[in-house]
Structure 1
């Protein structure tokens, strides 16, 4: 038996229930993992509420990220053995698999080895954030040394990862936050500049920072009408990358009459995690940064698995800077 978080209807955090269920054995192409830590993401809140692209099948579990140890390996799986230290990356639908439990089965294609020096809490905090930022900045965005990069909603785990990756690439990260409360923490996290959007004119401040040129790339999870001032701060020939939809209102497409020539696109980390070769490059990039110390995931707060509903409430309050991680305590090794 294992403890697994499930829900039977859409709704708020209170629909989440911790149940004892039979975990079973992994089938072909799957592995079973003893989970030590779970990383929480906005996608799981949206999935629980019914606003995500994936529709729950009740009783549904949820969760994209975890870190732990391989317990069993299904048929046809190469490269993993019992006892391996691993992490789970978002490379599946939550309607088919989930990570909110103390023993879970996931597809082997969504599992990566983690360095021994990287603990489970750190490993559970890294992959969604760093692969998302890596794909947009380092791979498809081709950010170069000296480029200015605008990172909106920068206190999120993805925003903080983007700051670190921009620094790692030699670029200049400009972070945004709505109020002054998170400004110093963003500077401490590596932002070269922080624009407080409730108090400052975003495009004017960006132009001031960049000497009138604008940024080469803007990385935005909010969407909605707010993309207009973001686009106004992009240099001619630059890129606007929208990777989320925190604002449910329609998102206008910037046009040539109002903005300089720029490329606009949407992006999700599934572009990376669903492609084995691109995922291999991403894992190598992130693991190298973890080992060298260039990448250090920021963990805002940890919760116990039994307090999963409270962890979701905390995320919904939008007060965190960095990742929320749920830890799992095991009384005895799995049999």
Structure 2
């Protein structure tokens, strides 16, 4: 056998050949793969052990957990000790108080502290005329003293006027007082000279009003006309308003519907029909209405009644 000469594979200097780029890439890829595998193993281990090693440790505080306050009553809050709060705190009302103190009256502004509004020119002229008439009244009345009213006009008291000397002086004083009063109290156009007294509320009897309304409704309600179910011809268009246990109950329902305002005019020209039916050993009464030209009119009637909230079914007499 031929022998392999390994020395021939080496370089001319007897050294190994330099690694090729492909070999370097293979080694680099292997190192990267090993690094990724090691990282995955480490990450997986940390995830598995997180529940065991990641539990936080709470260190107990030194000293007692709670300390009683120096004042057992605690801090005083607003509105504490009121009787209304006792109901919410203890569930029962407290005993009546020995002394009740009312709240002080609200502070109001005095007349001098309120804002003063200058009077209109017409009122200012009237006040000036009243001031000019004051000396005349004083000279005529003698000892009578003018009493200023709330609007600034000069008026005399009745006793002082009667004490004036002589009937002529009384007449002159009365004329001057009337003229001064008219001059001192001018009213603008359209002003209210005397406010009307409010009218008292009449005491109404609501029970009587309800009785009167019920009587009027009964008087205006149409009188129901009833025919026997056997007299209705076969094929006649009817509407059924319900089935009841007795005929009186069916008639009461008809009267109730006819008297309601929302059904006003629906049952005026309609005839009541009560049909007795025995089925399954039980007897019941059908409340029906007749007076329709055809089945289309019955359907329109039922549509209008159903829109107002009542039961209605168009049927044909058999």
TM-score (normalised: structure 2): 0.16
Larger CA Rg, structure 1 vs 2: 2
Higher helix share: 2
Higher strand share: 1
